[in-house]
Structure 1
Amino acid sequence: MTRPVTVGVDGSPAGLAAADWGAREAQLRDVPLRLVHAWEWQPCSHAPPEGPEYARRWSEGVPREVSARLHRSYPNLDITADRLIGPPPEVLCEAAEEAELLVVGTVGTGVFAGFLLGSVALAAVAHSQRPIVLVRASTAEGDEHPGHASAVASARPVVLGLDLGRPSDEVIRFAFDSAALRAAPLLVVRGGNPPARNGVSGVGGEPDREADVAAGETEFMRMVLRPWQEKYPAVDVTQQAVIGQPAHHLLDAGTSADLVVIGRRTRSPRAVLPRIGPLAHAVLHHCPAPVAVVPHG
């Protein structure tokens, strides 16, 4: 069974941006596109104010209208649209189980100001067992999203935030697949502070030691990535082992990226409830490019 790219649509500009990104991604992957609208009556900023019955009819039209719009732009793409009943986070996570990946929109407020990352998006990221991509809406007319997928070769890289402490095959595979589909280069970023010596961090005080730490991590990155580069020989890989907070370096790389890929651990001995972690939280709120969060054990 071919898994579709599934997009959560809600009639908002962010949902339309996600639908467009999902359509392009489905074309790249040569899979169907599924649009899912979750209906649960509650007041919201983009719903009509006339009342429950009008809102219900509006909700029924959302997936049809988005589907018709995408059919005009992607006439050869297999598109289905479903309106499902239930809380949006639960509906989206259930739909994601049958999907190649799930795409959800976020509201962009500017590269440096951050996103208005809603509860639906956060809950979907925290609970989904499948990869989920968050796409921001354009903040100004004519402002093309830097991460819009393209059916042709892309000059923008795919960026992978690599956790060398627990390298995940699922996360690395997703990043290499994404770069190969786009005929794009892959930038692998690993950031961190060198271990403290005599109780004092080495950042800023011992340049030679910092250089030694970066060189050691670069060599370890080569070892981790070597089998993947052999499997994907057409992907041009650049490695970047840097000193400092990983989120900062990923955000810098994300300003010119087609896609940023990070992982989320699904099993943590200290986590009672699903959580996304501080790095993912920072990247999801501030990265201007679409961000793929890949769950792994």
Structure 2
Amino acid sequence: MPHLDVISWTSIIAAFVESPGEALELLRAMGATGTKANAVTLSKVLSICSELRRLTPGRELHSVAVRNGLDGNSFVVISTALVLVYTRCGELELSRRIFSAIPQKDTVAWNTMIMANSTHGHGEEALALFREMVGSGLRPNSVTFVAALSGCSHSNLVEEGRKVFDSMLNDHGVVPDADHHSCMVDILSRAGLLHEAHEFIQKMSLKPTAGAWGALLAGCRVYKNVELGKTAARRLFEIEPDNPGNYVLLSNIFGPPSCGTMLQRSGRS
């Protein structure tokens, strides 16, 4: 085999996006040739592990990163990637330890840790990190607010969610997009504030997306609001008529017979 440099090895490894085992074997083969993995190489394999939620390869890569002695920006990049791997594999405490050890946290690192807490149902911790990030002088971006609002949604923090949403444009100059609006609808719907969620959708400055109507429909299922659920369902099917997940959700609310009748009225069969 001709000698490959680190760029060539990284390109080959990146091709194995669904095979963390083979990607690791290539990483070992790379090391055996004397070529040292850099931050880009390791982050590629870590990305594979996080997408497929493979903890054991992630731990091995953690060891490789420690042995390679990465520092500076490379340390931040790899640490952030490790936070994502451990979070997706359910090891939130490990994620927290790694995050805490990052000396100069960038926006991506903060966003990753805020979302980690949000997805695990730790909304208060997510908001505390959000405030700490702002206090550090870093400017939150669109992704930051999706992460913070998701934390409010999963932890039923309605008033906190309103404040975060209102602060986007007023305090940080970030214009709320469709994802942020959908998060707000989800916050209200999960809390049972279905009519307020519907009113929020109607007053949106941009066209409501399937995410917004889907969040309202899910809330209607939980709180058994059939009439508002019908409204949300009709709007949802206008936007995504071929999404099978919508049919499942609709059937869970109205039952298969009513679901079929509703679809016929909306022109679906």
TM-score normalised by the chain length of structure 1: 0.27
Higher relative contact order (CA 8 A, sep 6+): 1
Structure index of larger Rg = 2
As a proportion of its length, which structure holds more strand?
Answer: 1
TM-score normalised by the chain length of structure 2: 0.28
